[in-house]
Amino acid sequence: MKFDILTLFPDMFSSPFQESILGKAIEKGLIQIRTINIRDFTTDKHHVVDDTPYGGGQGMVMKVEPIARAMEWIKSQEPSAWTIYLTPQGKPFNQEIARDLSSKSHLVLLCGRYEGVDERVRELFADEEISIGDYVLTGGELAAMVIIDAVSRLLPGVLGSDRSAEEDSFFRSLLEYPQYTRPFNFRGSEVPEVLLSGNHSAISLWRRKEALQRTWIRRPDLLTKAHLSSEDKKLMEEILQNNPKDDGRLRMTDKEFLEKNAQKKPKG
């Protein structure tokens, strides 16, 4: 898969993609990442890429012409490239979108700066607008890195074994179950016995139940979207019957999560 990144700060992308899994994926040629400096597509001697907003107001807006030249240069090489503009106004990014994008061959990631890009850039060049979260960054670059990471790990051969991506998908839209490794006992906190039983069906049942319970406690919104099997529904009944929330068998971390995130009672 090819990623073209349109940015005013190409050097931001040098180190994140040198390390670990993505670094190896680049070495193996599974992904190609090319940064394109929008400023290289200015034609004036001051290489101006932004200007004041029509109608007044604070900040600067990225000019359409340099971005248009850069997009047409990319499209002249790869007409089928799929262009994503990273913006808080975009569709909330999630695993489903990551899976959809992983089926494309060439993504162009347009990184905004200042107050964002001129509206004509969206109209003329953005095939899709994506937000990585309801907060404001100084630029779209970090959002582009998030997209590249989440999409690349779904590509065949990028993760150690493709099973782990399937594992992801198996737990599609449920939170992960608690993970443990040695030591068995750390400061009095022990690993659940079932995980040392070698009984794989009991282990996967435990994991499924833990994933369902943790999702129910921390992200009930995800549970409504999850495709629950009949077995899952039975497990949910067990969870709801002896509702851990009120008999103290709640996992310490989930208890804290609940306490910390208890509905902030509206003032007054």
Minimum separation from the CB atom of position 85 to ligand 4FV (A): 9
139 near ligand 4FV (CB under 6 A): yes
135 near ligand 4FV (CB under 6 A): yes
Which of 137, 155, 236, 239: binder of ligand 4FV (CB under 6 A)?
Answer: 137
Judge contact between 210 and 221, C-beta under 8 A: no
Task: Please name which of 154, 167, 169 lies closest in space to residue 227, comparing C-alpha atoms.
Answer: 169
50 near ligand 4FV (CB under 6 A): no
Ordered alpha helix ranges (H), the chain? 20-27, 64-77, 95-101, 119-125, 141-152, 162-170, 200-218, 220-225, 230-241, 252-260
122 near ligand 4FV (CB under 6 A): no
112 near ligand 4FV (CB under 6 A): yes
Nearer to ligand 4FV, 116 or 171 (CB): 116
Minimum separation from the CB atom of position 173 to ligand 4FV (A): 21
Q: Which of residues 213-232 bind ligand 4FV (CB under 6 A)?
A: none
133 near ligand 4FV (CB under 6 A): yes
132 near ligand 4FV (CB under 6 A): yes
Task: Please name which of 48, 137, 151 lies closest in space to residue 99, comparing C-alpha atoms.
Answer: 151
Cβ burial 144-160 (10 Å sphere, 16+ → b, else e): bbbbbebbbbbbeebbe
Nearer to ligand 4FV, 86 or 151 (CB): 86
Q: What are the distances in angstroms from CA 181 to CA 33, 186, 190, 200, 209?
A: 35, 10, 10, 16, 19
Residues that bind ligand 4FV (CB under 6 A): 86-88, 112-114, 116, 131-133, 135-137, 139-140, 143
